[in-house]
Amino acid sequence: MDNGPDQDQFDDLFEPFELEEGPAADAPPEDVPPPSQQPPSPVSTPLNCPSCGAANPPQNRHCEQCGARLGKSPLPVAPPPAVRTTPGGRALSVLAVVVGIVAIITIAFNLTRGEPNAQVTTTTIATTTTTDFEFTELRPTSVEASSHLTGYEPDKLLDCTDDEKYWNDQSARGVNAVLTFRFAQPVQIRDIELQNLVDNTKFKLNFRIKDFVITVDDLGTETVGTLRDVNEPQSVAIASLNTTLVTLEVRSTYPAEAVNDNAPFSELALQCVRFFGATAG
């Protein structure tokens, strides 16, 4: 069929359309990354036992041959057990707090009194009753001593107003010296005040009481104490209910000292003794 000149003109208006062919089978692909190379697996190094030398896998913590520990890394530690308080433990805690409070109150009371006290312990604890009387100074009717120097009799101990009056024990160094105080009627004694010589020179020249024992006749008590080596009044607490006789025994003494050109004496000296409490009954 003859398309004629019109058909040729129509075909010239369009360009021939063809599908693009794909790449040749033997052509190498473009922009394709090369296959990645995996790093070589690390070689496991066996652990040699420091005890027997046997080789062990690296993950082992103990030797398969002898059981010795291989690494130095710390082993896991279990957490400490929780502390549980029992009723008995809580009661002991409360008791400890109460005892501490009582001790603090006692110390505060002694400090407020402002008196230097001797160190005192008692071998027997006596229970005293509470009454509505005031403590006052009690005056013994007499005092006796195991020995004394002439002019320094034990009755000088009852006069605390004159510093020139004091008792001198005649025995060497005063060890085992005994003083006995008597009361005309029964008394309840709270404190006994002991006073070394007030004069500093005489205080050093004479022996002084150190350890002592005090007993009363109405109770099975024995008060053991130690005086400080000072020339100030020292208070000793006593528990008594119906006392008429008090005994003070010297167990040890502080040594006498030379003062300037004065040689020390060999006798024990005591300035005065005072009692505080109330009349019994």
Q: Domain of 268: which CATH number?
A: 2.60.120.260
Please spell the DSSP secondary structure of 220-277, one letter per residue: S-EEEEE--SSSS-EEEE---SSEEEEEEEE--EEPP--BTTBPPPSSEEE-EEEEEE
Residue 14 lies in a domain: no
Residue 115 lies in a domain: no
% residues pLDDT > 70 (the chain): 63
pLDDT of residue 122: 47
Render pLDDT for 124-167 as a digit per residue (tens, 0 to 9): 433 334 444 568 999 999 999 999 999 999 999 999 999 999 99
Residue 183 lies in a domain: yes
Q: Is the pTM of this model over 0.85?
A: no
Structure-token pair, residue 122: 């008692």
**Range of the structural domain that residue 184 is part of:** 138-279
Render pLDDT for 15-58 as a digit per residue (tens, 0 to 9): 554 544 555 445 555 555 555 555 555 556 777 887 788 888 87
The count of domains in the chain is: 1
Residue 280 pLDDT class (50, 70, 90 cuts): confident
